[in-house]
């Protein structure tokens, strides 16, 4: 399943597939969406960027 788009509403980033169905939601926890690809999305929280897969699982943490 691929990420088609991501929208931010309130304190969550909502991930959608090509059909417009919600795949998952990822809490921003005071952070901000930095960007997304067809397989991941990046959220900056404090001094780190958290990379999540299309299911919302954290796959990498990078110092910002």
Spelled out in words, what is the top-level CATH class assigned to the domain 5-63? Answer: mainly beta
Domain ranges of the chain: 5-63
The answer to whether the pTM exceeds 0.95 is: no
* pLDDT computed for residue 53 by the predictor: 97
* pLDDT computed for residue 29 by the predictor: 94
Up-side HSE of residue 15: CA atoms within 13 Å toward CB?
25
> How many C-beta atoms surround the C-beta of residue 17 within 10 A?
14
């Amino acid at each position: 399943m691929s990420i088609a788009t991501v929208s931010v509403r309130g304190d969550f980033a909502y991930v959608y597939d090509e059909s417009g169905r919600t795949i998952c939601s990822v809490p921003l926890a005071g952070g901000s969406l930095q960007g997304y690809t067809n397989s991941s999305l990046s959220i900056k929280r404090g001094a780190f960027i958290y990379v999540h897969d299309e299911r919302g699982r954290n796959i990498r943490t990078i110092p910002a």
